[in-house]
Structure 1
Amino acid sequence: MNLYPINSGNFKLDGGAMFGVVPKALWQRTNPADANNMIDIAARCLLIEEGNRLILIDTGMGNKQSDKFFGYYHLWGNDTIDTSLKQYGFNRDDITDVFMTHLHFDHCGGSIQWNKGRTGYEPAFKNAHFWSNKDHWQWATQPNKREKASFLKENILPMEASNQLKFVGLPIGDTIKNSELGFDIFFADGHTEKQMIPLIHYKDKVIAFMADLLPTVGHLPLPYIMGYDTRPLLTLEEKERFLNIAADKNYYLFLEHDAHNEIITVQHTEKGVRLKNTYTTNDIFN
C-alpha cells in the first residue's frame, strides 16, 4: 500500500463559525484570524494505492461554482487535485474509487464537473465508483433547512445519474471492519448524519482520516466544536470516544482541514486528550 496527500485547494472560513461557542480569545491561539475574522482552511484529500485500486478520499470544493460563490470562501494557494495527482504520476482517469466522508460541498464538490458544453454536469472521475452510505445519501438529498446550503444538488445528483454511485454497508455499532474498500470506517452523527471516518491500516500504523470530526489541531479540546455541527452534544461524545481510542492506540490523525498541520498523534493529559506530536505526510508516508 502507498498513501499520497492530495491537496485540492485552500480557502478561509469564519473563525467564530469554526469554533462555535468558544470565545475568540481562546481559539485564536491555535487558529489566528485575519482582519475579517477568517482562518486558514485546507482541503487535504488522501489517495490510497492498493493493488490495482486507486482510492481517493474526498475531493474538495471543485471549480464549477460561480465567482460569487467562491468569493465567500477566499481561495488561496495554487493547489488543485490535478496538480497533486500529477506530482505522483497519476491523473483523474486512473482513479478507481472516490470515497466521500460526507456530501457537504467542501468534501465532494470536486467529484462532479461541468460537461464540455457547460450544459450540464458529469463525473470528474469517469472510471471511478463514488462511495457514500444510504442513510447519509437520504439525509443529503432530502436536506434539513439548516444544512441545505451545504448539500448542493449539482454536486450530488449527477453521481446517481451516472450509475457510478455505490453505498457501503451500515455498521452494527459505530464501526465497520474491513469495508468493501479495504479499510475500517468509524461512523459519526454529530456533524451530519452518518459521516464516515476511514481508518487505514498502513504498515504498523493506523491512519485516521479525520474529516470534520476533528477539523484542526485547535479543535482537540472537547467543547471546541464547529457551529456547523447539527448535533454538537453528540459531536462532543463521539469526539471524546474517538480521541480516547486514538490516544490509547496511538492513531495517526490525518487532518483534512488544518492548513498548517498535516498529521498528529495525541496523548492523555490531566486536561484530557491533547496533542502529542506533529508530523508531515512525508514523515509518515515515505
Structure 2
Amino acid sequence: MKLYPINAGNFKLDGGAMFGVVPKSLWQRTNPADSNNMIDIAARCLLIEDGERLILIDTGMGNKQSEKFFGYYYLWGDDSIDKSLAHFGFSREDITDVFMTHLHFDHCGGSIQWNKDKTLLEPAFKNAHFWSNKDHWEWATKPNRREKASFLKENILPMEECGQLKFIDVPSDNISQDSSLGFGVFFANGHTDKQMVPMISYKDKTICFMADLLPTAGHLPIPFVMGYDTRPLLTLDEKEFFLNMAADNNYYLFLEHDAHNEIITVGHTEKGVGLKDTFTCQEIFN
C-alpha cells in the first residue's frame, strides 16, 4: 500500500463559524484570522494505492459552481486535484473508487463536473465507484433546513443517476473494522448524520482521515466545536472518545482542513488529550 496527499484547493471560512461559541481571543492563537475574520482552510484529500485499486478519499469543492458561489470562500493558492494527481503520476481516469466522508459540498463537490459543453453533469472520475452509506445518503438527499445549503443536489444526485454509487454497511456500534475498501471506518453523528472517518492500517501505523470530526489542530480542545455541527453536544462525546483512543494507540491524524498542519499525533496531559507531534505527509508516507 502507498498513500499520497492530494490537495484539491484552499479556501477561507469564517473563524467564528469554525469555532462556534469559543471566543476569538482563544481560537486565533492557533488559527489567526484576516481582516474579514476568515481563516485559512485546506481541502487535503488522500489517495490510497492498494493493489489494483486507487481510492480517493474526498474531492474538495470542485469547479462547477458559479463565480458568485466561490466568492464567498475566498479561494487561494493554485492547488488542484489534477495537479496533485499528476505530481504522483496519476490521472482522474486511474481512480477506481471515490470514498466520501460525507456529502457537504466542500468534501464531495469535485466528484461531479460539467461536460465539455456545460449542458450535462457527469462523474469527474468516470471509471470510479462513489462510496457513501445509506443513512447519510438519505440524510443528504432529504436535507434539513440547517444543512440544505451544504447538500447541493448537483453534487449528489448525479452519482446515483450515473449508476456508479455504492454504499458501505453501517455497524451497530459505529465502528467498522473492515469496510468494502480494505480499511476501518469510525461513524460520527455530531457534525452530520453518519459522517465516516477512515482508519487505514499503513505499515506499522494507523492513519485516521479526520474529515470534520477534527478539522484543524486548533480544534483539539474538546469544547472547540464548529458552529456548523448539527449536534454539537454529541460532537463533544465523539471527539473525546476518538481522541482518547488516538492517544492510547498513537494514531496518526490526517487533517483535511488544516492548511498548515498535515498530520498530528496526540497524547494524554493533565488537561486532557493534547497535541503531541506534527508531521508532514512526506515524513509519514515515504
Give secondary structure in 2 for the equivalent of 1:102: coil
Give the deviation of 1:174 after TM superposition: 1.2
Give the deviation of 1:194 after TM superposition: 0.1
Q: TM-score, normalised by structure 2?
A: 1.00
Answer yes or no: is 1:142 the counterpart of 2:142: yes
Partner of 1:204: 204
Q: Quick one: distance in 2 between partners of 1:147 and 1:171?
A: 24
Partner of 2:277: 277
Give secondary structure in 1 for the equivalent of 2:224: coil
Give secondary structure in 1 for the equivalent of 2:148: coil
Give secondary structure in 2 for the equivalent of 1:101: coil
Partner of 1:112: 112
Query: What are the within-5 Å matches in structure 2 for residues 1-286 of structure 1?
Result: 1-286=1-286
Q: Quick one: distance in 2 between partners of 1:239 and 1:201?
A: 21
Give the deviation of 1:172 after TM superposition: 2.0
Gaps of 5+ in 1: none
Give secondary structure in 1 for the equivalent of 2:109: helix
Give the deviation of 1:116 after TM superposition: 1.6
Give secondary structure in 2 for the equivalent of 1:10: strand
Deviates more, 1:52-61 or 1:172-181: 172-181
Give the deviation of 1:117 after TM superposition: 1.3
Residues 68-94 of structure 1 show CA distances to partners (whole Å, capped at 9, x for unaligned) of 000000000000000000000000000
Structure 1: which 4+ aligned runs deviate by more than 2 Å?
none
Q: Quick one: distance in 1 between partners of 2:265 and 2:17?
A: 25
Q: Quick one: distance in 2 between partners of 1:204 and 1:276?
A: 18
Q: Quick one: distance in 1 between partners of 2:172 and 2:47?
A: 27
Give the deviation of 1:106 after TM superposition: 0.1
Gaps of 5+ in 2: none
Q: Quick one: distance in 1 between partners of 2:42 and 2:116?
A: 28
Q: C-alpha root-mean-square deviation of aligned residues, in Å?
A: 0.3
Q: Which amino acid aligns with 1:49?
A: E
Give secondary structure in 2 for the equivalent of 1:3: strand
Q: Which amino acid aligns with 1:78?
A: D
Q: Which amino acid aligns with 1:272?
A: G
For this pair of structures, how many residues does the alignment match? Answer: 286
Q: Quick one: distance in 1 between partners of 2:89 and 2:47?
A: 12
Give the deviation of 1:48 after TM superposition: 0.1
Residues 196-248 of structure 1 show CA distances to partners (whole Å, capped at 9, x for unaligned) of 00000000000000000000000000000000000000000000000000000
Aligned sequence identity (%): 79
Residues 88-128 of structure 1 show CA distances to partners (whole Å, capped at 9, x for unaligned) of 00000000000000000000000000012111200000000
